[in-house]
Amino acid sequence: MAACRNPSGTTEILESRGHGNAGEADLINQLGAKVKAVDPDVIENHNLHGFDLPFLVRRARILGVQLTLGRAGLPALRVRAARRGSASTPDGRRVRFVAPGRELIDTLDAVLRYDFATRELPNHRLKTVARHLGIAGPDREYIKGAQIYEVYRRDPERVRRYATADVQEVAGVARMLGGAAFALAQMAPRRYERVADAGAATGIIDPLLVRAYLRSGTALPAHQPGDGTPHSGAALHLFAAGVARRVVKADVASLYPSLMRSYRIGPARDHLGAMLTLVDRLVELRLAAKASARQSAPESAERYGYEAVSAAMKLVVNSAYGYLAAGGLTRFADVQAANEVTRRGRETLELVCGELASRGVTLLEADTDGVYFAVPDHWTEPDERRVVAEVAALLPLLVQLEFEGRYSAMLSHEPKNYALLGYDGALLLRGVAFRSSRAEPFGQAFLRYAVARLLAGDVPGVREAYVTTLDRLRGRHFAAREVASCVRLSKTWAQYLQVRDSRRELPYEALLAAGRKSWSVGDRILVYRRKSGAAGLIEDSEDAVAGIDSAKERDYDIDHYARLLRQTFAVRLACAFSPADFEVVFADPDQMSLFMPSVATIQTVLGKKPPTQTVDC
DNA sequence: GGTGACCGGGG
DNA sequence: GTGTACGGTCACC
């Protein structure tokens, strides 16, 4: 079965009329005939190049039928090398398919590009993205992948609804996220499908530069391998660790392209100065598109178009620096120029920090293009905005320091690792120290709650969170699932057997204990440590065959998880207290001395760090 | 701490 | 025949 959405917006379902191979061959022929009849310029789907096309090609080959998706006279699918797509060759190189005369657009590419900027999506599955973007219907049909065949045999109408909802969601995702690539395709001398999946540097900037040279009749510089100059990175400072109140974030908008424009930093081999001309032009286009978007009606096609252009320009402008730094890989790469950009960046950040500090704020942390600082108690928001504006006025015209946000409190832990409490009560956790895919749910929940209490100024609440979590562990109130860790399997059964004698690994021991001897490298499983050090596996309750639902087991190793609570989770709050106070807040209630001071009087601290901690990254 | 391998996503 | 081919995370050295 296949669902197709025509350019007119109607959805059609193709289904095989025969049985077995004959029916499947018939379906592939129907698909070819349908594509020929509708004759679309663009064929799009989610993971089109990673699943649908390689699947169809494989089945067509096995069944000995022609899969005709290309335009008249050029029916055969071709392949091109790609970094993502279908892994067809034994050496692991990947390819994407090309249907001559049509554009094969994968909405997954647009989703990856979108999430690169926003970092909001828990994963990139079609259903998740559709829900996130608000385009999933309220009564949308869901069926698990593994159950589709069985449901189809029982209730084909349900699968038809499911497939129809899928293609409608793909159309919605393409409409909302595909605009940038479509806008760029009208500007860059590359076909749409290449612009949609290429990186901005090699896929867009490079061809634009080449076109500029061709148009001016100037010879292109030869490729030059990098001369081994090491690439220096951005500045990263931790000024203070602990709890700060009245926190402000200021940052420079598009720092690197602004520095390139302001100080005229471009590739040395670019004698035409095409890169800087391009960046100047794209920034102007972006500003014009943003202004036009503001003037057009909300939700109008016009507005989406302008916003797409603006997003596309931002993407390309921001990759100009990446192009410079891509040592030796691209025609105009220039590590020295890239280093000059980062040097100016560090200089700018240092100037901003110094000027802010001299105006009476307490610096907390600074990273690349932005700085968090705390202001004195009596300052108002206009005071905060005024110092940022004063410092902004000291920077070059094109380098714009902006007031980015204000927060009631911050837990500054390490560079790139902190928690923020908004004035609206919203809690934001940043960095691997506070959110990790492998964190045990009970620990993650404790950490989130404890940080919220800490930033609210409620130290007894932090202690209570710790004691409650310990109690619930010791009373086995948590289900095994809540103490389990999600791990990715990186070894095969045979590979693990080779190292098993020297070092036992919990995930594989859990699989063995559960009687599972076959798995795929890359599979993710939930494992936990059981009493007596044995390994426990949480079976997906839908797949569990035996009558025991392991998710409801509670036979975990209490001491192990109590240690984990303290040594992995509670320590994230250590910088907020003096060492002695930390011991009091996180004292084991079973081992409390009678002379323990009360937590009610404990104050959080903010410890200053030595001022020169520049890290290259 | 740096480097290389591998994942994503689909049914 | 030659060049091209995403960005992030995690394991492992």
- Which residue's entry shows tokens 């076909």? A191
Compute the radius of gyration of chain A from its Cα atoms.
29
Which of chain C's bases lie under 7 Å from a protein CB?
3-12
Which of chain B's bases lie under 7 Å from a protein CB?
2, 6-11
Q: What pLDDT does residue A363 have?
A: 94
Q: How far apart are CA A179 and CA A307, in angstroms?
A: 8
Least confidently predicted of A313-317, A350-354, A385-389, A595-599:
A595-599
Residue A498 beta carbon within 7 A of nucleic strand C: no
The boundaries of the domain holding residue A8 are: 2-177
pLDDT at A120 over 80: no
Q: How far apart are CA A33 and CA A12, in angstroms?
A: 13
pLDDT band per the 50, 70, 90 thresholds, residue A547? very low
Give the domain CATH number at A490: 1.10.132.60
Is residue A109 situated within a structural domain? yes
Identify, with chain letter, the residue nearest to nucleotide C12 (CA–C1').
A490
pLDDT band per the 50, 70, 90 thresholds, residue A384? very high
Q: What pLDDT does residue A3 have?
A: 79
Tell me which of A388 and A319 has the higher pLDDT.
A388
Q: What pLDDT does residue A614 have?
A: 45
Least confidently predicted of A313-317, A327-331, A428-432:
A327-331
Identify, with chain letter, the residue nearest to nucleotide C8 (CA–C1').
A116
Tell me which of A203 and A443 has the higher pLDDT.
A443
Return all residues near A515 (Cβ < 8 A) that are at least 6 apart: none
A194 CA to C12 C1' distance (Å)? 35
Tell me which of A253 and A29 has the higher pLDDT.
A29
Q: Which of residues 35-94 of A have CB within 7 Å of strand C?
A: 81-84, 93-94
Q: What pLDDT does residue A485 have?
A: 84
Q: Which nucleotide is nearest to A83 (CA to C1')?
A: C5
Q: What pLDDT does residue A90 have?
A: 61
Residue A491 beta carbon within 7 A of nucleic strand C: yes
Q: Which of residues 534-573 of A have CB within 7 Å of strand B?
A: none
pLDDT band per the 50, 70, 90 thresholds, residue A617? very low
Q: What pLDDT does residue A449 have?
A: 93
Tell me which of A451 and A184 has the higher pLDDT.
A451
Among A158, A177, A196, where does a domain finish?
A177
Residue A123 beta carbon within 7 A of nucleic strand B: yes
Residue A125 beta carbon within 7 A of nucleic strand B: yes
Q: Which nucleotide is nearest to A129 (CA to C1')?
A: B9
| Tokens coding A125 | 């599955």
Q: What pLDDT does residue A249 have?
A: 94
Cα distances (Å, whole numbers) of residue A393 to A225, A378, A397, A465, A470: 40, 24, 8, 46, 53
Is residue A261 situated within a structural domain? no
Q: What pLDDT does residue A546 have?
A: 44
pLDDT, tens only, A59-108: 998 999 988 898 876 667 888 888 777 775 666 678 889 998 899 999 99
Q: What pLDDT does residue A552 have?
A: 60
Say what percent of chain A tops pLDDT 70: 92
Q: What pLDDT does residue A349 have?
A: 92
How would you write A27-67 as a 3-class SS string? HHHHHHHHHHHHCCCEEEECCHHHHHHHHHHHHHHHHCCCC
A383 CA to C9 C1' distance (Å)? 41
Is residue A386 situated within a structural domain? no
When divided into structural domains, chain A yields a total of 2
Q: What pLDDT does residue A616 have?
A: 40
Is residue A395 situated within a structural domain? no
pLDDT, tens only, A322-349: 888 875 567 888 888 888 998 999 999 9
Is residue A265 situated within a structural domain? no
Residue A444 beta carbon within 7 A of nucleic strand C: no
Q: What are phi and psi of A571, to 5 degrees?
A: -65, -20
Among A114, A142, A177, where does a domain finish?
A177
A356 CA to C9 C1' distance (Å)? 35
pLDDT band per the 50, 70, 90 thresholds, residue A137? confident
Q: What pLDDT does residue A491 have?
A: 74
pLDDT band per the 50, 70, 90 thresholds, residue A163? very high
Identify, with chain letter, the residue nearest to nucleotide C6 (CA–C1').
A199
A145 CA to B11 C1' distance (Å)? 4
Angle at A395 between CA A390 and CA A400, to 5 degrees: 85
Residue A109 beta carbon within 7 A of nucleic strand C: no
Say what percent of chain A tops pLDDT 90: 35
Is residue A486 situated within a structural domain? yes
Q: What pLDDT does residue A603 have?
A: 92
Q: How far apart are CA A22 and CA A81, in angstroms?
A: 32
Q: What pLDDT does residue A522 have?
A: 65
How would you write A287-321 as a 3-class SS string? HHHHHHHHHCCCCCHHHHHHHHHHHHHHHHHHHHH
pLDDT, tens only, A270-299: 999 999 999 998 888 888 888 998 898 887
Structure pTM?
Answer: 0.83
Residue A124 beta carbon within 7 A of nucleic strand B: yes
| Tokens coding A104 | 């094969």
Structural contact between residues A313 and A289, judged by C-beta atoms closer than 8 angstroms: yes
Give the domain CATH number at A115: 3.30.420.10
Q: What pLDDT does residue A516 have?
A: 77
pLDDT, tens only, A603-614: 999 987 765 444
For strand A236-238 and strand A606-608, is the pairing parallel, antiparallel, or unpaired? Answer: unpaired
pLDDT at A118 over 90: no
Q: What pLDDT does residue A517 have?
A: 72
DSSP-derived letter for residue A79 is: E
Structural contact between residues A607 and A240, judged by C-beta atoms closer than 8 angstroms: yes
Q: What pLDDT does residue A181 have?
A: 87
Is residue A494 situated within a structural domain? yes
Residue A578 beta carbon within 7 A of nucleic strand C: no
Is residue A132 situated within a structural domain? yes
Residue A50 beta carbon within 7 A of nucleic strand B: yes
Average per-residue pLDDT in chain A?
Answer: 85
